[in-house]
């Protein structure tokens, strides 16, 4: 059996497959593949009366558009290669969903659960200061966001550090995205990646040919879904699939074990149990200690939403799901991807499916630059237009519009959350259509992953071929 490529090798091999389809020159292939720059820092923070030295990275991949954009990950396993792989994926991801950013990623080698909130605040501020001093955080050139192990709180600490160091920068709030609402964040960013996964699957199921090719039929209703990882991305994806499309979440896998119930788990009840007890144990008799084996059970859709390299040459042959929906970054190695393809599985690839986060980050960044909340200018006009329409309807039908009907009409008002969801849905739907068109129109493109890479890389290559004056 062929050994698995590392995460970085996998991303590069997937990219090269697309570069060959596009017949890019060797030089341009090399230029796009590699990170433009990687900055490694070591910095001390005083903890328990002594200094503890931390190690972190920020990688900037393709700078064909600025700022470069990508999350900052806190995990004990983070290393430079992983950050470079994630930065490359960000370039391709932004290109797939037409978000006008280059790609970047950052990481800090740390187990956040080992530190108090106060310590994490000081560690984050120190890391941010190192990056800000070298312009690796900057609203015009390099804008982080949350990723594994980080969330709105870490982003607020980074934004505050930037603001203190750059008090005259009018766009300081745009230096990171995924901030809390009262720090310049945007409604709908926390749920965005999971919601994007949801819209991506809804769009996939609106194409009967694609559904049939995956060996399935019908809609998402009652489809049996296994989800690995129940953090930010996994929870929201599972929640919307269950609550809005009636899918059955039959297994939830976390690092401390898993739950398996063929009748479908109540996603919000599981989440409440985790918040109360810290884990899955004790939720019900459906608890299974060996979570990883549940990835191999029979189901319609498997959603890896935890880490990279979860489906490898070791277990790919045993995956029974028809569709593997990559909510995580790099959950399938290059070699495992070939095995899944040979077995007739459909993989909906990470660079498309989890792009909801960066899409809404783009909305947040634009809102920070414009200094105005979305919908603020036209909300009253919309309200009056709606009131006038209702009055007209009542006059014409000689019937009163009741409160329930009025509420239904109000659901589509342009408040910030509705606007964000609308922009995200539009992005995920139109990007999927573009990818499937590439797949269907090019006989040398075997699957959705290669199609997404071809679609993304062609746009980046076009910039370098046509517009870059320094090349």
Q: Which stretch, 37-45, 199-207, 325-333, 378-386, contacts ligand NAD (CB under 6 A)?
A: 325-333
Which lies closer to ligand NAD via its Cβ, residue 75 or residue 438? 75
Beta carbon of residue 147, minimum distance to ligand NAD (angstroms, whole number)? 5
Beta carbon of residue 243, minimum distance to ligand NAD (angstroms, whole number)? 18
**CB-CB neighbours of 350 under 10 Å:** 25
Task: Look at the block and give the residue holding tokens 């931390």.
Answer: 54
Q: Can you tell me whether residue 436 is helix, strand or coil?
A: helix
Determine if 306 is a binding residue for ligand NAD (CB under 6 A).
Answer: yes
Which of 193, 322, 346, 359 lies at the binding interface for ligand NAD (CB under 6 A)?
193
Tokens of 147: 């990723």
> For residue 18, what is the DSSP state?
H
Which lies closer to ligand NAD via its Cβ, residue 112 or residue 184? 112
Distance CA 105, CA 72 (A): 6
Tell me which of 65, 105, 248, 345 is the catalytic residue.
Answer: 105
Determine if 307 is a binding residue for ligand NAD (CB under 6 A).
Answer: yes
Determine if 231 is a binding residue for ligand NAD (CB under 6 A).
Answer: yes
How remote is the C-alpha of 234 from its chain's centroid? 10
Which lies closer to ligand NAD via its Cβ, residue 211 or residue 252? 252
Determine if 185 is a binding residue for ligand NAD (CB under 6 A).
Answer: no
Which lies closer to ligand NAD via its Cβ, residue 137 or residue 252? 252
Binding-site size, ligand NAD (CB under 6 A): 24
C-beta of residue 73 within 8 angstroms of C-beta of residue 46: no
For residue 49, what are the CA distances in angstroms to 42, 46, 52? 19, 6, 10
For residue 272, what are the CA distances in angstroms to 53, 191, 279? 36, 17, 10
Q: Is 139 exposed, middle or buried (0-12, 13-18, 19+ CB in 10 A)?
A: buried
Q: Can you tell me whether residue 434 is helix, strand or coil?
A: helix
Beta carbon of residue 92, minimum distance to ligand NAD (angstroms, whole number)? 13
Determine if 149 is a binding residue for ligand NAD (CB under 6 A).
Answer: yes
Work out the angle between the directed axes of helices 416-441 and 356-370 (0-180°, nearest 10).
130
Determine if 83 is a binding residue for ligand NAD (CB under 6 A).
Answer: no
Distance CA 388, CA 384 (A): 6
Distance CA 62, CA 5 (A): 22
Which of 146, 185, 188, 200 lies at the binding interface for ligand NAD (CB under 6 A)?
146
Determine if 293 is a binding residue for ligand NAD (CB under 6 A).
Answer: no
Determine if 72 is a binding residue for ligand NAD (CB under 6 A).
Answer: no
Determine if 63 is a binding residue for ligand NAD (CB under 6 A).
Answer: no
Q: Which stretch, 19-27, 140-148, 198-206, 394-402, contacts ligand NAD (CB under 6 A)?
A: 140-148
Q: Which stretch, 94-102, 126-134, 224-232, 422-430, contacts ligand NAD (CB under 6 A)?
A: 224-232
Least Cα distance to 104 among 139, 69, 135, 67 occurs for 69
Q: Which stretch, 157-165, 225-233, 242-250, 415-423, contacts ligand NAD (CB under 6 A)?
A: 225-233
Determine if 152 is a binding residue for ligand NAD (CB under 6 A).
Answer: no
Which of 12, 228, 427, 431 lies at the binding interface for ligand NAD (CB under 6 A)?
228
Which of 32, 83, 123, 305 lies at the binding interface for ligand NAD (CB under 6 A)?
305
Which of 161, 354, 368, 431 lies at the binding interface for ligand NAD (CB under 6 A)?
354
Residues of span 241-280 touching ligand NAD by CB under 6 A: 253-255
Q: Can you tell me whether residue 61 is helix, strand or coil?
A: coil
Q: Can you tell me whether residue 115 is helix, strand or coil?
A: coil
Distance CA 58, CA 83 (A): 7
For residue 79, what are the CA distances in angstroms to 40, 59, 115, 264? 10, 11, 20, 37
Distance CA 46, CA 9 (A): 37
Return the beta strands (E) in 165-238 as ranges: 224-228
Determine if 200 is a binding residue for ligand NAD (CB under 6 A).
Answer: no
Told to judge if 134 belongs to the known catalytic residues of this protein, a careful annotator would answer no
Q: Which stretch, 197-205, 207-215, 232-240, 453-461, contacts ligand NAD (CB under 6 A)?
A: 232-240
Determine if 107 is a binding residue for ligand NAD (CB under 6 A).
Answer: no
Signed CA dihedral, 78, 80, 83, 85: sign only: negative
Q: Which stretch, 146-154, 365-373, 380-388, 455-463, contacts ligand NAD (CB under 6 A)?
A: 146-154
Which amino acids are annotated catalytic? 105
Report the interface residues with ligand NAD, using CB under 6 A.
Answer: 146-149, 193, 228-234, 253-255, 291, 305-307, 327-329, 354, 357
């Amino acid at each position: 059996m062929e050994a698995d490529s590392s995460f970085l090798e996998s991303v590069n091999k997937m990219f090269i497959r697309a570069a060959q389809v596009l017949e890019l020159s060797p030089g341009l292939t090399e230029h796009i593949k590699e990170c433009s720059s990687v900055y490694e820092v070591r910095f001390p923070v005083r903890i328990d009366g002594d200094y503890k030295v931390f190690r972190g990275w920020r990688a900037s991949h393709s700078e064909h558009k600025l700022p470069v954009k990508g999350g900052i990950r806190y995990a004990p396993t983070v290393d430079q290669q992983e950050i470079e792989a994630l930065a490359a994926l960000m370039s391709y991801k932004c290109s797939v969903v037409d978000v006008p950013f280059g790609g970047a990623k950052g990481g800090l080698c740390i187990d956040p659960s080992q530190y108090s909130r106060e310590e994490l605040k000081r560690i984050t501020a120190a890391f941010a200061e190192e990056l800000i001093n070298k312009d690796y955080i900057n609203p015009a050139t390099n804008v982080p966001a949350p990723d594994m192990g980080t969330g709105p709180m870490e982003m607020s600490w980074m934004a505050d550090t930037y603001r203190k160091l750059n008090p005259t920068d009018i766009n300081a709030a745009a230096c990171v995205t995924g901030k809390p609402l009262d720090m310049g964040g945007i409604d709908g960013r926390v749920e965005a990646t999971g919601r994007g996964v949801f819209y991506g699957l809804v769009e996939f199921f609106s194409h009967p040919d694609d559904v049939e090719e995956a060996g399935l039929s019908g809609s998402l209703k009652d489809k049996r879904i296994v989800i690995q990882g129940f953090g930010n991305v996994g929870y929201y994806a599972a929640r919307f699939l269950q609550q809005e499309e009636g899918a059955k979440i039959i297994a939830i896998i976390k690092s401390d074990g898993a739950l398996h119930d063929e009748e479908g788990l109540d996603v919000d009840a599981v989440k409440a149990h985790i918040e109360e007890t810290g884990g899955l144990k004790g939720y019900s008799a459906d608890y299974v200690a060996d979570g990883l084996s549940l990835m191999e059970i029979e189901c319609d859709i498997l959603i890896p939403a935890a880490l990279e390299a979860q489906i490898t040459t070791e277990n790919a042959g045993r995956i029974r799901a028809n569709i593997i929906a990559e909510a995580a970054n790099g959950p399938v190695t290059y070699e495992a991807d070939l095995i899944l393809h040979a077995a007739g599985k459909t993989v909906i690839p990470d660079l498309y499916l989890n792009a909801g986060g960066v899409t809404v980050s783009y909305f947040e960044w634009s809102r920070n630059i414009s200094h105005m909340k979305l919908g603020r200018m036209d909300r009253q006009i919309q309200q009056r237009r709606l009131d006038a329409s209702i009055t007209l309807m009542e006059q014409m039908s000689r019937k009163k519009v009741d409160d329930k009907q009025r509420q239904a009409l109000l659901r589509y008002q342009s408040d910030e959350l509705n606007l964000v969801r609308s922009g995200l849905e539009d992005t995920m739907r139109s990007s999927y259509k573009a990818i499937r068109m590439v797949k269907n129109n090019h006989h040398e493109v075997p699957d959705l992953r290669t199609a997404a890479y071809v679609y993304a890389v062609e746009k980046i290559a076009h910039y370098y071929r046509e517009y870059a004056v320094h090349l």
